[in-house]
Amino acid sequence: MTPLLAIGPEALELERLAAALDASAGSNAGADGAVVTFLGLVRNHNVGRRVRYLEYEAYAPLALKAFERIGAEIHERWPDVRLALHHRIGRLDIGEASIAIAARSPHRANAYAACRYAIERVKQIAPIWKREFFDGGDMWIEGATADPDDQRARAEAERIACA
């Protein structure tokens, strides 16, 4: 069975995430009316440079703890939402998916907000590092900088998600 939270080199498939959420429904099977998904893709440009590919690194145990925290925050704010979140590590070529998020809920508004909140919080608190390779060199891109307990960062993620 596909885990709800994962980090690894495997290609990302939204269908598998949606199926994992379906399997996690238990006695609530059939009660949900929305699944919102997000795929983050590797772009061919950044800051005026042509990007060739990216490499992601992470300390997986801490990244998974961050994902669990994000899931708990979502459950606290939107109790009817179930979340699946997978992030890739390793080399990713242009157009490949680096992150996949699925949020399932009885109503679309909560699923949309939770999905948006999840990506904002991943960028804020997950210990995942990105190295960008471009013509003529490479560069590490600043990753998560917020303390997971920083309530202002959390409030900002919620503000963006609910805008």
Task: State pLDDT tens for residues 44-64.
Answer: 999 899 999 999 999 999 999
- Provide the CATH number for the domain around residue 124: 3.90.1170.40
Q: Residue 55 is which amino acid?
A: E
CA distance 142 to 129: 7
Task: Please determine, for residue 26, whether its predicted confidence score (pLDDT) is greater than 90.
Answer: no
Per-residue model confidence (pLDDT) at position 45: 95
**pLDDT classification of 18: cutoffs 50, 70, 90:** confident
Task: State pLDDT tens for residues 98-109.
Answer: 999 999 999 999
What is the number of structural domains in the chain? 1
Q: pTM for the whole thing?
A: 0.92
User: Which H/E stretch holds residue 88?
Assistant: strand 82-88
- Which residues are CB-neighbours of 100 under 8 A, at least 6 positions away? 12, 13, 14, 17, 37, 38, 39, 40, 84, 85, 86
Mean pLDDT of the residues in the chain: 93
Range of the domain at 38: 5-161
The angle at the Cα of 71, spanning 13 to 161, to the nearest 5 degrees, equals: 85
Average pLDDT over residues 127-152: 91
Average pLDDT over residues 113-119: 97
